[in-house]
Amino acid sequence: MTTRALPALALLVLLLFAVAGGCSEEESSQAPDAGAIAEDASLPGGDASASGPDAAGPAHADVGEGTPDSSVPGADAGGAAAEDASADGRDASAAGEDAAGVVGADAAAVTEPDAGPLASPAVARLGSPEDAVASYLMDAAHSEWNMFFGAHVPVGRHFDGAHVSYHTALRFPAVMVPRGATITSAKLSFFPHSAVDGSNNLWLNLYAEKVGNSSAFDPLSYQSGRPDQRAKTVAHVDHWLVRCNSGCTDLTEWDCLQRKLDCWDPAVSFTCPKDLKALVQEVVDLSDWSAGNAMTLFLVNAATDQDGANYRDHRTIVGYDPTPGASQPPQLVVEFAP
């Protein structure tokens, strides 16, 4: 090679190195860009990784000790939803309780005897053998009392030598008359028990027990709660004359029709000719009376020895005896206007 050619060759070599160096620098300059791209590509993962602990950590911390600002949205959403659900549950529970309470109150109101309109007449009958009771003073010297009760009871005077008075009580356990109603009629009816004593003459006073709800009788308790011991209404029927006079005429006896009825027939229900509306009115006007309460009527002897030998005995009426049937016990029929 000539010396002249050397400078040209050197120039070519330098040119090649320059070109190679430029390409290397260009590739090198592109590498960071790729790395940057890789880093950029890793940012979502990094953000997700970062947001994961931040979301989990603060949300967990919110339960125990307070929530950083970054966790408030998630915690608030979950907590508010839970609180709303809890509130909804409480509201539903309260609604259920309210509904149950209202229904229960309405049901109680319906079953209350005074809740609805009651039909007139009200018909009441005895409900048990203890609802027909007669007390009498068996031994006046020792103040010993005795009682009859059950299937049949006496009215009038005891048949012994002293002819003491019977205090006969008929208790009607469910009289469906509203408090304060105006009583227009009250009739007592019963069946005679025996034709043997059905013509004995009687003087009777009729009362009602002056109490808003008559308590049951205990026929085995001779010391308290007897018919003769109970409070009686001021209103009463005074000296109802019960005697048999089937031969009377309207021209000779002013109460002839009553006396004809007073010849009792055990097969026929007997209705007391006296209207007891004043007695019943006094009871239903009491503040503690309520429809469906119990009411007791008393048939008390009013005769004395001065009335003569014809008024020293008794008659017997059917009390509570299920054998003849449900129509046999005494019956009280009350007509009223609300």
Domain parsing of the chain, residue ranges = 71-111, 122-337
Return the structure tokens found at 34. 């790729």
pLDDT band at 17 (very low <50, low <70, confident <90, very high): low
Rg (CA), the chain: 52
As a whole-number percent, the residues of the chain with pLDDT over 70 amount to 59
Give the chain's end-to-end CA distance (angstroms, integer): 149
309 or 161, which is more confident? 309
User: By the 8 A CB rule, do 270 and 264 touch?
Assistant: yes
Higher pLDDT, 325 or 125: 125
**d(Cα 143, Cα 105) in Å, to the nearest integer?**
51
Beta bridge mates, 135:
147, 167
Q: What confidence score (pLDDT) does residue 170 get?
A: 98
Query: Which residue type is seen at 111?
Result: T
Please give the Cα distance from 3 to 123 (Å, whole number).
155
pLDDT in the model for residue 302: 95
Angstrom distance (rounded) from CA 52 to CA 59:
10
Distance, in Å, from the CA atom of 138 to the CA atom of 233, rounded to the nearest integer, reads 26
CA-CA-CA-CA torsion sign (276, 282, 283, 284): positive
Give the span between the Cα atoms of 158 and 310, in whole angstroms. 13
What is the per-residue pLDDT for 199? 77
